[in-house]
Structures are given as structure tokens and as C-alpha cells.
Structure 1
């Protein structure tokens, strides 16, 4: 998926065409996206009956750091996100499809 850089201002935004919408991602959206992804991860972890400590150990981070991911305080790098997804017994395609739905939900909140 390609993005189009729109501006170099402090309110820089990137146009992300996602299925039937064009979502403009900007710095102010980052916290919302982190929060939504974190809640998604927490939901999937709980569905598996895992504690935060258990999945943190599998991922190789402290329980405190994993908690920061789940509440959206800390950014998750793409490699770390893919590792978390794999430790939650999910495939990347399922996650990406779910991510599209997360972004659409964020778009409809604006």
C-alpha cells in the first residue's frame, strides 16, 4: 500500500487509501491508532487466556513494556508487532484485515 506525503508542516499528513476510504494519517492520529491496536492485542491475548506476563515473556519484553503496548502508551515497531501477532497464534493476513477495520473505525470516529 503506497502513501502520498501531503505536507512537511507540523500537521503533516499521509493519505492512506484503504479499501473504500482515504484515511489521512497525521501525528494526532498516532495515539488513537496505538490505543486501538493495543486494545486489539489485549483482546486477542485474553481470548487465548494468557496473562500480560506470559505473552511479554514470549515476546521478550518486560510485563511493564507489554502493558504500555496494550494501553497505547508505547509505539510498537513493525517487527515487534509481527512477533506479537505470531505469539498470539494469528497469521499476518488476519491481523492486516482486522487492522483495516480498526482504521475504518477510527475514520468514522472523526
Structure 2
């Protein structure tokens, strides 16, 4: 878990004007659990993270990382190549004959 999570949790909770006890009730955990999360002494399970995001109406990125930067790529692709074990197309004739439409056989 990122070190920004405890800070984000505290910030979001205070913005919503919730006490630790009120948040704990919504999450079905103890007030001490919320306190440990905010102090960085413990980390919530993934199901509690999802519930926290719903309570605060934020993305998991914002909850955990403190950001909503969806424009930042997670993976940069430089080159994509697809190879086939057998030929996909042997030849293709795109000649237009007398400006007529050509029906391709299926």
C-alpha cells in the first residue's frame, strides 16, 4: 500500500465530516481499525478499499494514490507485431475494372 493512503483516508474522511466511529460503522469495522489505517499501522483488505471508494465517491486511484490522473499511461507500447503460423491472405487483387463494383465471393 502506498504511503499516501493513510493521508488520503484522513483527508477524505475529514472532507466528508465523518468521525472515525461513523466511518467504521459504514464499513462494518471497529473505530480502532480506521485509526490504524489512518496511522499507517494496518491496511484495509481489498473489499474494504472498494467500500471506502464507494463511501467517498472516489476512484481507487484517488483513494490509494491521491490522484485521478487517467492520462498517465500504465504501459507504453512502442511496437505491436502479430505473427501467424499459416498464411492469412495469399493474394489480393484491388484492380477496378471499368469502374464497376466487384462482388467478392464468400
Task: Give the corresponding residue for 1:39.
Answer: 7
**How many residues were matched structurally?**
69
The TM-score, its normalising length taken from structure 2, stands at 0.54
TM-score (norm 1): 0.52
Q: Which has the higher contact order (CA 8 A, sep 6+)?
A: 2
Larger Rg: 2
Offset from partner CA, 1:24-79 (integer Å, 9 cap, x none): xxxxxx5xx2x420110110010111111101100000001111011111122221
Query: Corresponding residue for 2:16?
Result: 48
Runs of 5+ consecutive residues of structure 1 not aligned to the other structure = 1-29, 102-110
* Consecutive unaligned residues in structure 2, runs of 5 or more: 70-106
Q: Check whether the contact 2:50–2:60 (CA below 8 A) recurs between aligned residues.
A: yes
Higher helix share: 1
Between Structure 1 and Structure 2, the one with more strand by share is: 1
Note the aligned Cα RMSD (angstroms).
2.5
